[in-house]
């Protein structure tokens, strides 16, 4: 629960009536933070003392299960106070290594490593998206190649509204493993809204990715990524055939700028005719032919306003992921440790403050998660994350419409 300072918390903790008033106030204002069974009432239980931080916490009983009500200025498992940790975790957004955090803030590398891992235990979707109505209708998905102790793995990544809302490690790029990895996103999203099904997802042409999404959401519409076709031309021709590349690029993006489905289809046909009749380098006609042959998978985006026609959003986010993985020389140890590591990094990136210009541009909303939800629980970004992750994000109830 959010508490502004320790003095206020200590005062409320001593008085059971005041503590109940605080819970009732939070329950009325932010019911999504509590287990659903709390609507049937709860009992006040004992007060426990944590020798680690010399702080007392109260427990309550909901439906026969005991829960600890932890103030937001304390880290999970009583590993420290937020004020002592949040600057170090903020620097992890920029991939500052653990040994450097030790040099600046003390402790030891494993302490900071475990703090980041503990954040990764929370549900990414339910922690980031706090209201059912903010679950995205249109998604972008892709896999980031990585390694665990030299063995190739793939981080199945889902993004929407400027946030990474799904990240799970697949041991190979086959349909079964990707279905399992992307299935973590489905499980977490349906914790918020059991009937949730996204309308569209933008992917590259990898069949394993497309089949995985169809397995998870049979009625989802797959949209081909227009950008990936252009990148194939750009990377192979920009330097060797500059003039032809510029001509092709202009015609290519002229197709993308078409305002209607009919106009887009017509421009693609004209582009294909031009490419067939032009003496182009061998590597240029193939992506254009692929666009022409799979026109339906690209033009269908016009039927769904708001759908992503390119992978720009996830590409920008995965550039950060690439820098993060490279700086730590990829994963070491077990698959479960790698999973917690990348999930912790994702949540830090979703909640850590953006640069001041971006914050000003978005009306003072500090982070991507705040901009998605249009509010925050606490002005301190890490406390906001910890409150958002109440019950590890897995037990949610719809917000009070009043």
pLDDT digits (tens, 9 = 90+) for 341-393: 999 999 999 999 999 999 999 999 999 999 999 999 999 999 999 999 988 76
pLDDT the model gives residue 6: 86
pLDDT the model gives residue 182: 97
Is the domain covering 132-225+306-333 a CATH 3.30.420.10 domain?
yes
Of 401, 367, 378, 314, the closest CA to residue 136 belongs to 314
pLDDT the model gives residue 397: 45
Check pLDDT > 80 for residue 340.
yes
In this prediction, residue 127 has a pLDDT band, given cuts at 50, 70 and 90, of very high
In this prediction, residue 283 has a pLDDT band, given cuts at 50, 70 and 90, of confident
What is the 3-state secondary structure of the chain?
CCCCCHHHHHHHHHCHHHHHHHHHHHHHHCHHHCCHHHHHCCEEEEEEEECCCCEEEEEEEECCEEEEECCCCECHHHCCEHHHHHHHHHHHCCCCCHHHHHHHHCCCHHHHHHHHHHHCCCCHHHHHCCCHHHCCCEEEEEEEEEEECCEEEEEEEEEECCEEEEEEEECCCCHHHHHHHHHHHHHHHHHHCCCCCCCEEEECCCHHHHHHHHHHCCCCEEEECHHHHHHHHHHHHCCCCHHHHHHHHHHHHHHHCCCCHHHHHHHHHHHHHHHHHCCCCCCCHHHHHHHHHCHHHHHHHHHCCCCCCCCHHHHHHHHHHHHHHHHCCCECCCHHHHHHHHHHHHHHHHHCCCCHHHHHHCCCCCCHHHHHHCCCCCCCHHHHHHHHCHHHHCCCCCCCCC
Instruction: Calculate the average pLDDT of the chain.
Output: 91
DSSP E strand boundaries for 149-285: 151-160, 163-170, 200-203, 221-224
If you average pLDDT over residues 63-91, what whole number do you get?
93
pLDDT the model gives residue 244: 83
> DSSP characters for 206-231?
-HHHHHHHHHH-TTPEEEE-HHHHHH
pLDDT the model gives residue 69: 92
Cβ count within 10 A of residue 23? 19
pLDDT the model gives residue 401: 36
> 330 by DSSP, 3-state: which?
coil
If you average pLDDT over residues 312-316, what whole number do you get?
94
d(CA 380, CA 235): 43
Q: What percent of the chain has pLDDT over 70?
A: 97
pLDDT digits 0-9 by tens, 134-185: 999 999 999 999 999 999 999 999 999 999 999 999 999 999 999 999 999 9
pLDDT the model gives residue 87: 97
In this prediction, residue 279 has a pLDDT band, given cuts at 50, 70 and 90, of confident
If you average pLDDT over residues 58-70, what whole number do you get?
92
What residue segments make up the domains of the chain, in order of their start? 1-71, 132-225+306-333, 226-303
CA distances to 133, 140, 160 from 374, in Å: 12, 21, 15
For residue 137, give both structure tokens.
Answer: 């209708």
Strand partners, 201: 139, 222
pLDDT the model gives residue 238: 66
If you average pLDDT over residues 214-239, what whole number do you get?
89
pLDDT the model gives residue 246: 87
Rounded to 5 degrees, what are φ and ψ at 399?
-65, 150
């Amino acid at each position: 629960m959010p508490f502004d300072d320790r003095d206020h918390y200590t005062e409320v903790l001593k008085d059971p009536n005041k503590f109940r008033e605080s819970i009732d106030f939070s329950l009325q204002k932010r019911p999504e933070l509590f287990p659903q069974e709390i609507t049937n009432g709860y009992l006040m239980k004992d007060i426990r003392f944590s020798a680690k931080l010399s702080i007392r916490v109260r427990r309550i009983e909901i439906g026969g299960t005991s829960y600890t009500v932890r103030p937001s200025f304390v880290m999970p498992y009583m590993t420290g106070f937020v004020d002592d940790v949040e600057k170090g975790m903020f620097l992890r957004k920029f991939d500052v290594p653990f040994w450097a955090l030790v040099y600046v803030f003390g402790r030891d590398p494993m302490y900071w490593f475990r703090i980041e891992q503990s954040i990764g235990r929370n549900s990414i979707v339910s922690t980031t998206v706090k209201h059912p109505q903010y679950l995205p209708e249109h998604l972008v998905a892709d896999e980031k190649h990585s390694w665990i102790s030299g063995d190739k793995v793939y981080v199945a990544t889902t993004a929407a509204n400027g946030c990474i809302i799904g990240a799970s490690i697949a041991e190979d790029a086959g349909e079964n493993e990707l279905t399992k990895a992307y299935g973590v996103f489905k499980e977490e999203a349906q914790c918020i809204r059991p009937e949730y099904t996204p309308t569209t997802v933008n992917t590259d042409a990898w069949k394993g990715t497309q089949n995985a999404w169809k397995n998870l959401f049979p009625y989802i519409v797959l949209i081909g990524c227009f950008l990936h076709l252009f990148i194939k031309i750009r990377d192979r021709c920009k330097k060797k055939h500059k003039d032809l590349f510029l001509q092709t690029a202009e015609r290519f993006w002229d197709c993308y700028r078409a305002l209607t489905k009919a106009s887009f289809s017509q421009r693609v046909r004209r582009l294909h005719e031009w490419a067939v009749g032009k003496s182009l380098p061998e590597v240029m006609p193939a992506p254009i032919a692929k666009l022409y042959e799979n026109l339906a998978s690209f033009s269908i985006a016009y039927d769904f306003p708001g759908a992503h026609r390119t992978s720009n959003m996830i590409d920008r986010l995965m550039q950060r992921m690439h820098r993060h993985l490279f700086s730590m020389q990829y994963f070491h140890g077990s698959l479960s440790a790698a999973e917690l590591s990348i999930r912790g990094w994702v949540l830090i990136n979703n909640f850590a403050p953006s640069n001041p210009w971006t914050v000003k541009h978005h009306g003072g909303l500090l982070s991507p998660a705040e901009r998605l939800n249009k509010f925050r629980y606490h002005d301190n970004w890490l406390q906001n994350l910890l409150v958002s992750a109440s019950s590890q994000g897995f037990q949610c109830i719809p917000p009070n419409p009043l």
